[in-house]
Amino acid sequence: MGTGCAWDAERYEGKHSYVWQFGAGLVDVLASREGERILDVGCGTGQLTAEIAARGAQVVGLDSSTNMLGQARQNYPGQKFVLADAANFRFPEPFDAVFSNAALHWVKNAEGAVESIALALRPAGRFVAEFGGKGNIASIMSALRAVFGAEAEQRCPWIYPSIGEYAPLLERHRLEVREARLFDRPTQVEEEDGMENWLRMFCGRYFEGLSVEGTQEKIRELVDILRPDRYRDGVWTLDYRRLRVAAVKV
């Protein structure tokens, strides 16, 4: 996904709005000021891009999915969005801040992403981001390993770094780390098919090459493994763990 496989913008907006709803707190951390130039990396369908713009900044949303950007443009026609890879982008004019919610764990080339972000910032510019951190969705990762065996690692589209891994990467690119926090965010989905929806939304890479029936079978196996631990009283709980970082370009 991201640069490889298609994102289903309709499923994202319909069933996974909690992703940007949780991101609202991160917009407060960004604390953008009137007229600032802000870049939103992995902007998806644009809800947080628009939220930052509503606070008076000039925002550019960047994403590598034509589906997600198409929906973003339809949602917010006056807003600027660009198609680019977070692992390798350049802008001619510097930004006052780079923001990113729930996207950077999809960018396996973290070094390329951090280099691009650092180069996009003016001196003293801010980088504020949140994404999956070490131990994120541990139960789902374990179920994926049980179902896909040795292929699980190969097919995994994510990186979930620890603070110890990510902070030095930022520092190597002259981003001074002011805050780094790894925290649990158990996320509840109140639908019987909530786990299936999640797997269909985010695990496309694992099902690539499988038939419709083959995919359904794998999803059934995964859901059966996860149900005893993760489904209670009609509610699925996703064991999200996020890494939040705030840094300044020096």
Ligand X SMILES: C[S@@+](CC[C@H](N)C(=O)[O-])C[C@H]1O[C@@H](n2cnc3c(N)ncnc32)[C@H](O)[C@@H]1O
What is the C-alpha to C-alpha distance for residues 214 and 199, in angstroms, rounded to an integer?
Answer: 14
Cα 152 versus chain centre, distance: 20
What DSSP state is assigned to residue 127? E
Pattern 147-186, ligand X, x by CB under 6 A: ----------------------------------------
Q: Which of 21, 13, 12 is nearest to 48 (CA)?
A: 21
Judged by CB under 6 A, the residue of 85, 115, 176, 221 near ligand X is 85
CB of 48 to ligand X, least distance (A): 5
Nearer to ligand X, 205 or 225 (CB): 205
Are 52 and 62 within 8 A, CB to CB?
no
Pattern 34-73, ligand X, x by CB under 6 A: --------xxx--xx--------------xxx--x-----
CB of 60 to ligand X, least distance (A): 13
CB of 97 to ligand X, least distance (A): 15
Question: Is 87 an interacting residue with respect to ligand X (CB under 6 A)?
Answer: yes
What is the C-alpha to C-alpha distance for residues 131 and 241, in angstroms, rounded to an integer?
Answer: 8
Question: Is 19 an interacting residue with respect to ligand X (CB under 6 A)?
Answer: yes
HSE, CB side, 13 Å, CA atoms: give it for residue 55.
17
Q: For ligand X, how many residues bind (rule: CB under 6 A)?
A: 23
Nearer to ligand X, 125 or 132 (CB): 132
End-to-end CA distance of the chain: 33
Q: Applying CB under 6 A, which part among 83-91, 176-184, 187-195, 222-230 lies near ligand X?
A: 83-91
CB of 44 to ligand X, least distance (A): 2
CB of 20 to ligand X, least distance (A): 4
Question: Is 96 an interacting residue with respect to ligand X (CB under 6 A)?
Answer: no
The token duo for 144 is 């994926």
What is the C-alpha to C-alpha distance for residues 173 and 188, in angstroms, rounded to an integer?
Answer: 36
Question: Is 127 an interacting residue with respect to ligand X (CB under 6 A)?
Answer: no
CB of 213 to ligand X, least distance (A): 27
Taking CB atoms within 8 Å and a gap of at least 24, the contacts of 66-72 are 67/6, 67/7, 67/8, 67/9, 68/7, 68/9, 68/12, 68/43, 68/44, 69/43, 70/9, 71/9, 71/10, 71/12, 71/13, 71/45, 71/46, 72/43, 72/44, 72/45, 72/46
Sign of the four-CA dihedral 20, 236, 209, 159: positive
Judged by CB under 6 A, the residue of 71, 79, 101, 187 near ligand X is 101
Question: Is 107 an interacting residue with respect to ligand X (CB under 6 A)?
Answer: yes
Residues of this chain that interact with ligand X (CB under 6 A) are 2-3, 7, 19-20, 23, 42-44, 47-48, 63-65, 68, 85-87, 101-103, 106-107
